[in-house]
Amino acid sequence: MKASAFVYPWDVNGDPRAPGRIAALGVGQVTLAAAYHSTRALTPRHPRHRIVTAEHAAVLYPVDGRWDGRALRPHPAGDWAPGDAYGEAATVLAQAGLEVHSWVVLAHNSRLGAEHPDTSVVNAYGDRYPWAPCIAQPATRAYLVDLAAEAAVRPGAAGTELESLGWYGLQHLHAHDKTGGVGLGEAGQYLMSLCFCPSCRAGYGERGLDPDGLAAAVRTALEPVWQGLPDDGGWAGVEKLLGAEPAAATRAWREATTRSLQEEAVAAVRAAAPEGFQVLLHADPVSFHVGANPGVDPAHILSVADGVVAPCAGGPALLTPFAEQRRDSAVIAANLTVVSGMGGSPGTLAADAARARELGATEIRLYHAGLASDGDLEAVRKGLGTI
């Protein structure tokens, strides 16, 4: 069963032992960040540092001329990943015998929202989410499509994994986050993630909804949530709060927007890539879900991309809807957390991989080779040795 480990360039560059250490885990592939959001990350084995603070969303390579004169453009990294950090890391990882795939984070960018507030998702109360670019806006979509093509097809990459290629919403681990005081549940998260920027308001109008009336209805629907009433769960909870017809219309608008963006981005990557280049999307099979693993229709996404990477931190159940499509050539990768300090279970990797395979996984992803402790990595090495 093919395994790939996620890694950042700053885990590798400046640490001559890193490529061999990762290869010794027993993985044949690494998924290396080429465009990434702001973060603060441990580097527990690096000879020069223990903490890396990536201050803003950035590309980890030199951009080309396609961005000249454009208002929306990617920013280079600071001293946490200077120059062609991706290319430097990719080279030494390949020399260690590892196949390198790029890892590209798209519609999750706080700097974009800070510099260009009009690009952000706007909720029914008028609050902007600067970390969440609205994927319905034409200029934002053009930016995301071009970023996908450029960041994915780096020299030497055999494939890519596109993260956050869809709607991002309220849920976001922000600096000193204080949004957990009310349990929103799936229904509340959906309603708080509905966008009311001009592009989305026009989209709702095309679906027969009055945008002002819809925003008011969303605010009314959320009152029981603020009072702490329990969530009925799933889409039924959204319909109960908002009403079946308006809920369906909002979902139809958002699903159509997501589908068309994913089609455009994958087509752009394929046009820029060599033959045989693999394109995977991080995805959730529940189409109204938002975030780093945006909701998709399994049948549609497997007709567009070569496969998906499904989050399995809460168990492998999300694999099943993708596997049920019975597409023999599709990659269905189970994303398993192997950092014990982040809730992972590296000691049960073999069992978790076996269960994932039973539910249709063809590959596994290990999150994250750079963040894990020495003990976690040893458990991963032992686990992979039995798969």
Tell me what the mean pLDDT of segment 195-222 comes to: 97
8 Å CB contact between 281 and 313: no
Tell me what the mean pLDDT of segment 232-241 comes to: 90
User: Has residue 60 been placed in a domain?
Assistant: yes
* Nearest alpha-carbon partner for 338 in 379, 310, 309, 308: 379
- DSSP letter at 340 equals G
Tens of pLDDT, residue by residue over 245-271, are 999 999 999 999 999 999 999 999 999
Tens of pLDDT, residue by residue over 286-339, are 999 999 999 999 999 999 999 999 999 999 999 999 999 999 999 999 999 999
User: Has residue 202 been placed in a domain?
Assistant: no
User: Has residue 329 been placed in a domain?
Assistant: yes
Would you place residue 96 in the very low, low, confident or very high pLDDT band (cuts 50, 70, 90)? very high
Contacts of 175 (CB under 8 A, 6+ apart): none
Query: CA 320 to CA 333: how far, in whole Å?
Result: 11
For the cut 80, the answer to whether the pLDDT of residue 34 exceeds it is: yes
Q: 56 vs 232, which has greater pLDDT? A: 56
Angle at 217 between CA 215 and CA 220, to 5 degrees: 110
Query: CA 52 to CA 67: how far, in whole Å?
Result: 27
Query: CA 266 to CA 49: how far, in whole Å?
Result: 36
In the prediction, which pLDDT does 180 show? 66
> What CATH number is attached to the domain comprising 307?
3.20.20.80
User: Has residue 356 been placed in a domain?
Assistant: yes
For the cut 90, the answer to whether the pLDDT of residue 366 exceeds it is: yes
For the cut 80, the answer to whether the pLDDT of residue 75 exceeds it is: yes
8 Å CB contact between 27 and 98: yes
For the cut 80, the answer to whether the pLDDT of residue 115 exceeds it is: yes
Would you place residue 178 in the very low, low, confident or very high pLDDT band (cuts 50, 70, 90)? low
Percent of the chain whose predicted confidence (pLDDT) is above 90: 93
Contacts of 155 (CB under 8 A, 6+ apart): 87, 90
Contacts of 127 (CB under 8 A, 6+ apart): none
Tell me what the mean pLDDT of segment 138-147 comes to: 98
Query: CA 171 to CA 121: how far, in whole Å?
Result: 12
Burial of 272 (0-12, 13-18, 19+ CB in 10 A): middle
In the prediction, which pLDDT does 179 show? 62
User: Has residue 315 been placed in a domain?
Assistant: yes
User: Has residue 237 been placed in a domain?
Assistant: no
In the prediction, which pLDDT does 319 show? 98
User: Has residue 225 been placed in a domain?
Assistant: no
Tens of pLDDT, residue by residue over 186-203, are 999 999 999 999 999 999
Tell me what the mean pLDDT of segment 50-69 comes to: 97
Tell me what the mean pLDDT of segment 352-377 comes to: 98
Domain count along the chain: 1
User: Has residue 250 been placed in a domain?
Assistant: no
Tell me what the mean pLDDT of segment 100-117 comes to: 97
In the prediction, which pLDDT does 183 show? 73
In the prediction, which pLDDT does 176 show? 62
Range of the domain at 114: 2-179+255-384
Average pLDDT of every residue of the chain: 96
Query: CA 332 to CA 173: how far, in whole Å?
Result: 26
For the cut 80, the answer to whether the pLDDT of residue 177 exceeds it is: no
In the prediction, which pLDDT does 171 show? 80
For the cut 80, the answer to whether the pLDDT of residue 182 exceeds it is: no
Please list the alpha-helical segments (H only) found in the chain.
9-12, 18-23, 85-95, 110-115, 138-152, 185-193, 198-206, 211-226, 234-242, 244-272, 298-304, 319-323, 349-358, 374-384
Burial of 350 (0-12, 13-18, 19+ CB in 10 A): middle
* Beta strands 159-163; 51-54: pairing state: unpaired
